[in-house]
Each structure stands twice: as C-alpha cells, then as structure tokens.
Amino acid sequence: MIRRFMAVALLATNLSLIRAHDYQSWPVPVGPICEMTTTPTHTYFNLWSPKARAVVVNIYEDGQSPKRTLSPDGTPLTAALKKHPTNGTWSTAIPLNLEGRFYTFTVTDEKGKKHEETPGIFAKAVGVNGQRAQIIDLRTTNPEGWDKDTRPSLAHYSDAVIYEMHHRDFSIHPESGITHKGKYLALTETGTTNPQGDKTGIDHLRELGVTHVHLLPSYDYGSVDETRLDQPQYNWGYDPVNYNAPEGSYSTDPYDPAVRIKEFKQMVMALHKAGIRVVMDVVYNHVFDLASSNFEKTAPGYFFRWNQDGTPANGSGCGNETASERPMMRKYMVESVLYWAREYHIDGFRFDLMGIHDIETMNAIREAVNAIDPTILIYGEGWAASTPRLEADQLAMKANTSQLQGIAAFGDEMRDGLRGGWDDDKKGAFLIGLPGHEESIKFGIAGATPRKDVDIKKVNYSKAPWANSPEQMISYVSCHDDMCLADRIKATAPKADKAERIRLQKLAYTAVMTSQGIPFVWCGDEVMRDRKGVHNCYKSPDDINAIPWGQKAEYRDVFDYISGLIHLRQSTRLHEGTLTFLPVKGKCVVAYQFTRSDATYIVVLNSNRKTITQAIPEGQWIALCRDGVINPEGIGTFKGKTVKVPAQSAIIIKK
C-alpha cells in the first residue's frame, strides 16, 4: 500500500493523562449526532465533549473573515453551552434565526486549556477550507428532482463493475471536451467528446458499461487550499478535515457551503440517471493533522490510539490512527456512513486502510446500511500501512474477512500475480511470461474462497482462503496507488513494443473481468493511460495525472476490448457458473471452466510468447473472445477437444 506521506507534527501528550482515561467508559449519547439545528425562531447547538470544563459557540458572518455576527445589544454573538448531567454533551439555544451565518465551538478542556476553534466533529456544511460550519437548512440544497432520485438496480454484489476515478484526473485535460473541468459538475455534462469525436465524461462511462463510479475522497480535506484555486493544485485527498461535508475545491464556489452540497447532489443524480451508482472513498482511519483536528480540539485523546510512550499510534503511515473500537468513534463512523447514504444517496463505501478498523465496527456499519438498502456496496483495503495499536484478531484485516458480513476486501494476490509485487516496480510476473504465479491468479479467479484445485502453498501473501464467497473479493490489477497498469507493463517489459503492451493490457483485464469476485477498473486503463512512470503521484501535476482523452482514439481497440469484457460478463453471467480449473501443460497458462445450466464457458489465459494448445472437453464451441477481439454473438465455431490460444492473449469459448 502506497501511503500519502506528509510532515505531521506529533502531539506532545502527557502519558499519565492518557493512561488515566478509561475511554471505553466515556458516556455516549443516545440518538443521532446533531450539532446544529435551526427553526424560524431559534438556533440550537450541541457538542459532545465529556471531559470539557466549558464550551462556547461563536457566530460569524462568513466562513473566513473575523467579522462577527452581533447580538441585539451590539456585542459579538457568543453563547455558553450547558453540560448534560449524564451523556457528555453540551447544548444551548439562541433565540434567533441565524440561517446563513457561520459558527465554531471553543472547548476548554479538563486541564483548563482553551483549544482553537472548531466547527465540531460532525459539521455538514462548511465554508472555505472547512474552518467554520454554516447554519443551513439542507433542504434548500436539493436540486430539482432530487426527491425522485433513485438508485439504479443491482441484483447481486457480483453484478457490480467498479470504475475508480479522481475528479480532476477525469475531466481536467484540454481534450476532455468538458466545461466544468475538475468539478463535480463535470459528471453532469452529456454529449462531450474528444477532438476525434469519441465520447468522454459520463457518456464514456455509459459506453464502457461500468455499474459503479468509485470517487476518490470527496469529503472536505486539507491538502488543497480552496482560497488559491486560481493556481494549479492536486492531491488525492486522503487528508480528512470535515468528514461530513463535500470538498470545496471540486465545487464552483468553495466559499458558499450550499454550492458544494448542491453540485455534489447534482453529480449523484446525473450518474443515477445514467444507470451508474456512486461509491465514496472514506478515510476514517486517520486525520490530516492530529493536533489541529476537530476530534482533538473537541475531545482530546479520545478518538485516537496511542503508543505506550504517549506518542500517537501510526498504523496509517500518516502520523495517527483513529480508535474505531471506542464507542463514540464507532457511533460516529456508523452515523457518518448513514448520513452520506441518506442525504447524498451514496450507493457504496470504500474504506481506506480498513485493516485499522475493528471487525465489530465494520459489521455494525454493514448492519446499519442494510436498513437503508442491502445492495449498498461496502469494501476496503484489508491491510494497514504499519501495525495498528489493536489486537490483530480484532482488526478488519484481509485475513479476517470471513468474519465480516457483506463486506469485501481487495485481492492483491491476483493483482501482483499478474503484474508483479508492489515493492519493486521493475519486478514482473505472469503477464510478462514469468512462471510461478499461476496459483495466485487461480486464487483470484475463485474470489479468495476455499478450493481443492488451488495450491494455496504457492499463492503469494495469503496462505489460507479468506473469503466466505467470491463477492467478498475485489478483483483488480490497477488502482490509484502504485503504478497504473500501462506504466507497470513498461517498467517490467521495457523492450515491449506498442502491440505487445496492448496485448498484455487486454490479457490482464480478461483475468479481472472473468473473476468470480467484483471487478474493478482504474480510470484511464481502458485507454492505456500512463502517468509517465510516477509511482506515487498523489500530488503530481495535471500533466502526470490527467486522462489524455485523445488516447481513446489511439487505443480504441483496448477500450472496445475492456468494454466488450464488461458487457460479456453482464450478458452471459458466466462468472456465476460452477468454477473448475482445467489441467494445463507447461507454464504461464491458466485455464478454467464455468458450468451453468444453460451453457458452459471456458477461459484460457496464455502469457507465453508462443501459441499453446489447451485440452478442453470435446464438443461444438463458439469463440466469444479471440485474438484480442470480443464478440458476444460469436467470432467463429469449431469442434474438437483442443483449442489453440495465441501468444500473450486470452480466449473465451462457449459450448
């Protein structure tokens, strides 16, 4: 896992204070976390801070300037909150309609330290750079038709085909044909094309055939300065500040909280109308900066794990890790996910470094989401950047996936079996004809489930199956982290010409799309997008990260092939058949059969630099994929008990 490393100031924490707190005993209020509500006559504030000595709310005219709202007597409007006797919350009611104003809380902790102002831990509407929350009626942010917005149908998790994308990557290139480049609204524009006339934007997604768009972090994050959007800035966004408000840099006006909320909803509604569900990348495992985080300014120490020496635990590799096992953090994560699902109609959640979170919390999230819609996807990275500060048997690691109900994890066994290990960009594997990776690919084709015909001792990383069913594994070969596939092929096969690189790109995606797991595509792989060999481009400029839309014309056959694989998977549902691995002769060949009541399908992957002959059950066969071409209607028929598979390619045949 490539992490977004940054300089993080370690919080100087008194060790005796940490040890003195029994965090599990801190009171947790019943009912939803609601820090601000408004009526025509009153504005109500509520903040959870069990150990505070005092809490004050401050009212401002806007989201950034020092201009304060004045009370009727002409003094700056503030109000002291009163502590609830048992549940750890502080509350007050101001007898004014303050809609449109901004607010912060100031907490004085149990040692008498007055912390910097915070918009709270659950701010839903924030101004520029998330410094202050706004008093707002969220109903006013709903675009026309929002009440009629519905999720596209999804019968089974394995029907999903996920497309991971970054807002700026997807639309910023001059050849995108998109007006709102790098914005939420880019995904509302239809009829956009590149200079050659190929579809781009949302029409491209429909043409490709994906069912879900996985958006890289879109909550309010800290690594892009929203006051300087006239200057090029880029970050993946794994730097949480306000978890429950959209990021302002992707809106047309980061100063107006209502704009970012409405435009986010417009984006979701447009994707839904196109038949595409929306997945949010959520990063509850760490914050942008611990000392200045809203968590720490509200309830110091509580939301994070700590080492014995009093320093923050760092399972995230980003300077801190949150403590999901603590009751209020668990409640927070559950309610935050539910908020996005209800208020923004989000259809899925990808958990960054899910292995830092505890199993009980992840299952609680799944159970809560089921009450809204059990077809909402939940998946995540079943690992951490380093060892978390919690017992291994409590963590939602990949090895513990069987204890997670309806939650999937990324299957890096097949990924690295195809392209090579994550720790060495120049190290290749199956794709470039290196033997010894066949069992890792078979493990991925079977969705990480128990198999007698997979030699688990030869599978990389995992020495035991970890999924209860195949849809608990995300099948992929490329994602935002690490080199994208086109770059990895160049790095591991530096002498390969363009034609060979195309063959290998197609071969890799044949494995992904015929896996029994949930297939996953990194944006731009379908047009052979590269990132100029940059391994960790989390803050690289647009000339590295932008999808070069002109390549859709140049690599049209790659797009058609991957799109063809998606449509073939959806139309034949071959992955739902009974899976059998066929015996093969030689190395660098994987052959498997799906048997359904209505048909039998065989897939053969051949990464050798020569044609091979594969034994198959005798019968009359129709080729659906051959020589880098896919046609669900059939490319040709043949009869016999063997099939020839050209070099560095795949075949899919139907009996």
Other CB atoms within 10 A of residue 620 CB: 10
At the fourth CATH level, the homologous superfamily of domain 578-654 is: Golgi alpha-mannosidase II (2.60.40.1180)
For residue 24, what pLDDT is reported? Answer: 86
Domain boundaries, the chain: 32-141, 172-288+326-574, 578-654
For residue 630, what pLDDT is reported? Answer: 97
Contacts (Cβ under 8 Å, ≥6 apart) of 452? none
Given a cut of 50, whether residue 19 has pLDDT beyond it is no
For residue 518, what pLDDT is reported? Answer: 98
For residue 21, what pLDDT is reported? Answer: 65
> Where does 420-472 have alpha helices with state H?
438-445
**Phi and psi torsions of 307, nearest 5°:** -75, 165
Average pLDDT over every residue of 393-398: 98
Q: Are 313 and 305 in contact (CB under 8 A)?
A: yes
Given a cut of 90, whether residue 9 has pLDDT beyond it is no
* Percent of the chain scoring above 70 in pLDDT: 97
**CATH classification code of 32-141:** 2.60.40.10
Kindly list the catalytic residues. Answer: 352, 381
Q: Confidence class of residue 11 from pLDDT cuts 50, 70 and 90?
A: very low
For every residue of 537-555, DSSP letters joined together read -TT--HHHHS--TTHHHHT
**Phi and psi torsions of 56, nearest 5°:** -125, 145
pLDDT tens-digit map of 97-155: 999 999 999 999 999 999 999 999 999 999 999 999 999 999 999 999 999 999 999 99
Q: How far apart are CA 212 and CA 214, in angstroms?
A: 6
Lowest mean pLDDT among 10-24, 28-42, 250-264, 277-291: 10-24
Average pLDDT over every residue of 75-87: 97
Tell me the pLDDT of the chain averaged across its residues: 95
Residue 185: exposure state from Cβ atoms within 10 A (0-12, 13-18, ≥19): buried
* Percent of the chain scoring above 90 in pLDDT: 95
Q: How far apart are CA 190 and CA 631, in angstroms?
A: 27
Q: How far apart are CA 133 and CA 143, in angstroms?
A: 21
pLDDT tens-digit map of 218-241: 999 999 999 999 998 999 999 999
Q: What's the token pair of residue 290?
A: 């611990």
**Given CA atoms 470, 271, 231, 64 in this order, what sign does their dihedral have?**
negative
**Given CA atoms 562, 526, 218, 517 in this order, what sign does their dihedral have?**
positive
Contacts (Cβ under 8 Å, ≥6 apart) of 655? 599, 600, 601, 602, 617, 619, 620, 621, 622
Average pLDDT over every residue of 164-179: 98
pLDDT tens-digit map of 339-389: 999 999 999 999 999 999 999 999 999 999 999 999 999 999 999 999 999
pLDDT tens-digit map of 271-300: 999 999 999 999 999 999 999 999 999 999
DSSP category for residue 410: E
Instruction: State the architecture of 172-288+326-574 in CATH terms.
Output: Alpha-Beta Barrel (3.20)
DSSP category for residue 118: B
Helix, strand, coil percent values for the chain (each to nearest 5): 30, 20, 50
CA-CA distances (angstroms) from residue 232 to 5, 229, 239, 630? 20, 7, 18, 41
Given a cut of 70, whether residue 589 has pLDDT beyond it is yes
Letter for the amino acid at 545? N
Lowest mean pLDDT among 9-18, 81-90, 200-209, 597-606: 9-18
Q: Confidence class of residue 405 from pLDDT cuts 50, 70 and 90?
A: very high
Other CB atoms within 10 A of residue 187 CB: 28
Average pLDDT over every residue of 434-441: 98
Given a cut of 60, whether residue 41 has pLDDT beyond it is yes
Given a cut of 80, whether residue 268 has pLDDT beyond it is yes
Given a cut of 50, whether residue 448 has pLDDT beyond it is yes
Q: How many residues does the structure list for the chain?
A: 655
Q: How far apart are CA 127 and CA 331, in angstroms?
A: 25
Given a cut of 50, whether residue 487 has pLDDT beyond it is yes
Given a cut of 60, whether residue 1 has pLDDT beyond it is no
For residue 150, what pLDDT is reported? Answer: 97
Q: Helices (H) and strands (E) in the chain — how many of each?
A: 14, 25
Q: How far apart are CA 33 and CA 219, in angstroms?
A: 18
Q: Are 33 and 332 in contact (CB under 8 A)?
A: yes
One fold for both 172-288+326-574 and 578-654? Answer: no
Average pLDDT over every residue of 1-29: 53
Most distant CA pair in the chain, distance: 93
Nearest to 520 by CA among 554, 482, 465, 475: 475
Given a cut of 70, whether residue 485 has pLDDT beyond it is yes
Contacts (Cβ under 8 Å, ≥6 apart) of 253? 259, 260
For residue 22, what pLDDT is reported? Answer: 82
